[in-house]
Amino acid sequence: QPTQRTIRILLTTVLNLQRESIKGIAITVQDITREVELNEAKSQFISNISHELRTPLFNIKTYIETLHDYGEDLDIEERQEFLQTVNHETDRLTRLVNDVLDLSKLESGRTYSFDKVDLPQAIEQTLRTYQLNAKDKGIELLQELTPNLPLVLGNYDLLLQVFGNLIGNALKFTPAGGKVVIRAYQLDFNSRHEAGKVRIEISDTGIGIATEDQQAIFDRFFRVENRVHTLEGTGLGLSIVRNIIDRHHSQVNLVSEVGIGTTFWFDLELFEEEILAKVETIPENLEVKTV
């Protein structure tokens, strides 16, 4: 099929054994499309990271210089406001650096250990982290877990990172009075010899994601908030989520409608000992708990 490619053509003279006369010309044709794509991706990454680092650093420098030069002319409230801004921008810079390091580690080929994971425990730990944030924003934070969920195969810390990124995003884009729900339930066995899986869903009643953005949101530094004029986030969270779920031999999916809300979901394999256990169909009654 016709595709856009980058070709390098090298012409080299061929000499005789005594290197005294030219016998001909050797022509080498190389397809360097992938090399060019990688160089462009590297340049784009450096450009993006430079821009993202520059903004908080500029803000920190500006406010500190103002405090240094005119601090005596500012009242206590103004100085406090300046220091809070510096602290906020420092946290933002820290998140960006941590996200870049996390993504770098995930893509470096580093091996992570996988073991049995108790999903209710991981979900409970995540919700405890975000319950105050949800309360401050007037958002209802719920969990809907089927009783006696089996253990899954995964990396506990990486899954905590996935839950935190997805729930944090849901809270960020859900207005007051909205709802964020994390669900977990076991899928049916497709056959007697095929293991079922556990599905995790994170749903919100937020602003939703436009169809044209739904693939791009997993790209580095792409931020839907650019379209709603907020500056929160690094644009790396969903790239990290996708990378972690890929390592769990699964895939992140989403359904979304602008003005209605968004649901992210993925499946996790059962821990090997659990596969041998008898699996019932999904109970109709979910255990609903408000956090």
Domains of the chain, CATH where assigned: 45-107 (1.10.287.130), 115-290 (3.30.565.10)
**HEC-encoded secondary structure of 94-158:** HHHHHHHHHHHHHHCCCCCCCEEECHHHHHHHHHHHHHHHHHHHCCEEEEEECCCCCCEEECHHH
H or E element in which residue 79 lies: helix 76-107
Q: What's the pLDDT at 280?
A: 39
Q: Could you tell me the two tokens for 233? A: 């986030």
> In the prediction, which pLDDT does 205 show?
93
SS3 91: helix
pLDDT at 223: 57
91, 234 in Cβ contact below 8 A?
no
The tens-digit pLDDT sequence of the chain (291 residues) is 778 899 999 999 999 888 888 999 999 999 999 888 878 767 766 766 776 678 788 888 988 998 888 888 888 888 888 898 888 888 878 877 777 777 777 666 677 788 999 999 999 999 988 888 899 899 999 999 999 899 999 999 889 889 988 998 899 889 999 999 999 999 876 544 445 799 999 999 998 888 877 776 776 665 555 444 444 555 677 888 888 898 899 999 999 888 899 999 999 999 876 554 444 343 444 555 544
